[in-house]
Structures are given as C-alpha cells and as structure tokens.
Structure 1
C-alpha cells in the first residue's frame, strides 16, 4: 500500500508521517516551497523524511508571493506576536494563506493517482486555536468528495482517501501520539519567522511551547 504524506516539517505533519508508517504504508512525502517566510521548515521536512526512511521526498516549487494575502507570503504584513490562546481563537489570522490546503491537496491527489497510492495524509487539526478554514472537518469532507469525483480511481470505485488522523486532537494529544510513534521532535520546525532559531513569540511557537509545557516536557528545539 502507498500513501502520499503532506510534510511541512512541523510538529503535526511529522506526526502523520510516522502514523502513516505505523499504518503500514509505503510513504511518499510531499513538501512545498512556495516562497514562504519560514522556508527554514523545508530543511526540517528533509531531515524528518530522511529519518523516517520515506521511499521518496519531493519538493514542489511555486511562488505565492506574487499574490500575497498572508503574513507568510507578504513581508509587509507583520506576524502576530505574544498573543494569548484566547486571542488566537477569535478570528482567522493573517498567517492564513489563501486556499493553501486546497493547493496542497490538489498536488497530493495528482501525485497519489500517478503512483497508484490509496491514501493522502494531511496533518490538519481543528481543536487548537489557529482558526484556519481549511483545517476543519467539513472542509476535509468536501475535499474527499473532490477526490472521489475528480479522479479516474474515484470514478472507477476506488477513490483515494484523505486521512486526517489529528483532526480531533489537541496539540498536547498530538505530542503524546508523536511520542508513542517516535517522532524526532528535535528535527521539526514550527516557527513562522524566517530566522534560523525559533522566535518563541509567533502563534505557532506559542501553541507548541504551551503544549509541551502542559505535558511537563521540554521542547528540544532551540528558541531565542
């Protein structure tokens, strides 16, 4: 059995890669260089993929800076810093990249069908505070229907399925699962800032640090 895993190099996507391995799939990792502010994550994706022993790791290149619309693709938009978890939950944040998961899943679907894979893994989770519209269960359900209707495999009755095993997990639960699966947290990268050391104050860093702290664990990644 083959699976395509959307791998950013972050905590969530690294966990689903190891989950796909545990599920018995031959893993093909897919990452994206869309000229994001935090391109440092691509190095982590490479290291995690190598550590996990994936069959193949590919990086797709395209430039979303030409459209902007997000703090991750437009350097003139400031990253939110030092926000509380309550503040994060109030609105869709400026770090939302327009239609990003739809773009990613479309590439993953094409790759999966080309190699006759049965499943695409994505590390979205809806219970923590990001507020992203393309990380929610109804979105994943809708994209599953696209997978069914828009492919030869789907029309022939063997649709490629979307696996989103973290969708109903909190960040603390994802870390606990990753610990069981042996995810190398020290290789992962969550920070939105474009530096070589994690900032510790962007939303992604704060969510990650809070989850490790709640579990009484030390995050092995270095912070400013």
Structure 2
C-alpha cells in the first residue's frame, strides 16, 4: 500500500506523519509538500520532516489574485483540491492523508465530508490505473483535536524536539511570532501538556493578546459562543495559571493585562 501524506511543516501534519509511520509500518509512505507562494513558506520548508518531496504550483498565474491574505494568513482557494489532484496524478497512491483535526471540517469548501465523499468517487474515475484512491483525515476521524493529537504523539514515540521543530506561525518575519491565532493555539497546547516552547515570543507577554484572550475566554467559558475546538485555548490558559476555576482564571487574565499595561508592554 502506498500512502501520500500532505505535509506543511506545521504541528498537525508533523504529528500526522508520525501517526502514519506508527500505524502503517508496512506501507510505502511519501511525504509531499506543495509550495504555493505564501509569505511564510520559508519557515515551513525549514520544518519539513526529513525526506519530504517539495513541489511548486508552477501553473499559478502571477497576474491573478489567487492568494488571499487575511492577517498574514495566505489561502489559495481550492488549495486542498489542487494538492490532492496533483498528488494523485504524480504519485498514484492508494491513500492520501491530510492533517485536519476534530472540529476543523467545513472550514473551507474543500475541507468537508461532502467534498471528501465526492472527491473519492471522482479520483476513482480519473486514476491513472483505475484503482480507487481514498482521501482521508485520519486524526479527525478518531476525534483528535490539537491537544489530543499532541498528547498521543508524545505518548507514542515522538520526541519533544520533533514537536517543537514544527512551524505553525503565519508571520512572514519570525519563526514563532506568538501573535497569530495558530501560534496562540500552539502555545495553548504546549502549556496544557507541560512543555515550554515560547520564550521572548510568549503571547502572555503581549498586552493586546492577553486582552483578546480575556474576551475569548469569557466568551467560551461563560457564553458558549465559540466553536468547540477553541476550548484548547482555554485549557492552555488554565494550565498556564495552574487553575481551572473559570472565574479566577478570568481575574488572573485581567490582572496580567493590567500589569502589562502598567509596564508599558504593549507588544511581544
């Protein structure tokens, strides 16, 4: 059996790579990364697992606005569809794995159960050898969110260094900015499992981030207005303060924001 794992260098696909090797030891595993020109590509390349095959989206028209950027996050509409189609044609695998986590389905049009169902049927029609190619998100299928996935990885042979070497930051200048929403989730996961990953870029040293965390924590714990997967941020904050009483944690967040404001620390 041949499995293609689409990797980005981020935490999720790094864990997925380990998951695939642990659970499919007899399979031929191809790690495949597509460079589609976003601002933080250089950081992803530095964090890719050893042996990853790197290919570019050479067919993109540089004169057309394919890359959509919001708050330093570049997104190529139809990105997953494009990568999956190329992987199928170039590698002719039996299965293609993506690093989606529990609660992340339906984030984009090409990250949904309906899309996967229809795509699996389409790929079986256009497969070079006529065999059925299965597109799957194994971590999502077994209910792994970011925290559960990280705990599983550490408990099943992944080293702390391997996990820390992944790069999930969406800032074009820094390896780990501590400000973007992915960095904050990464910090929350590491905090919850007792790992220290952020030093100068600790988001708890940034007034604006702590202020936002206070609002988000209140919305999640007291109003229930946020999506379930964002609970990992709450758990990270609670681990940071060593307290799981929501009222007290919110007080501590506000005290932290006040201290940073008084110290003039309004940036990381």
TM-score for both structures, normalised by structure 1: 0.74
1:98 is matched with 77
User: Paired residue for 1:159, among 104, 109, 132?
Assistant: 132
1:126·1:137 contact (CA, 8 Å) conserved in 2?
no
Q: Which has the higher helix share?
A: 2
User: Paired residue for 2:39, among 33, 37, 62?
Assistant: 37
- The CA deviation at 1:16 is 1.4
- Aligned equivalents of 2:128 and 2:199: distance in 1? 43
- The CA deviation at 1:218 is 2.5
- Aligned equivalents of 2:4 and 2:193: distance in 1? 30
- Aligned equivalents of 2:105 and 2:134: distance in 1? 26
1:4·1:121 contact (CA, 8 Å) conserved in 2?
yes
Residues 149 and 221 of structure 1, relative CA distance in 2, 3 Å threshold: farther
Superposed, 1:126-205 pairs within 5 Å as 126-128=102-104, 131-153=107-129, 155=130, 158-167=131-140, 168-179=143-154, 180-182=156-158, 184-205=162-183
5+ residue gaps, structure 2? 202-267
2:71 is matched with 78
Greater RCO, CA 8 A, separation 6+ = 1
Residues 218 and 202 of structure 1, relative CA distance in 2, 3 Å threshold: same
1:124·1:136 contact (CA, 8 Å) conserved in 2?
no
Residues 222 and 177 of structure 1, relative CA distance in 2, 3 Å threshold: farther
TM-score for both structures, normalised by structure 2: 0.63
Residues 145 and 70 of structure 1, relative CA distance in 2, 3 Å threshold: same
- The CA deviation at 1:60 is 1.2
Residues 220 and 176 of structure 1, relative CA distance in 2, 3 Å threshold: farther
Superposed CA offset, 1:134-165 (max 9, x none): 33333222222222222144x4xx31222311
**Secondary structure of the residue that 2:196 maps to in structure 1?**
coil
Count of residue pairs brought into register by the alignment: 191
Q: Radius of gyration: which is bigger?
A: 2
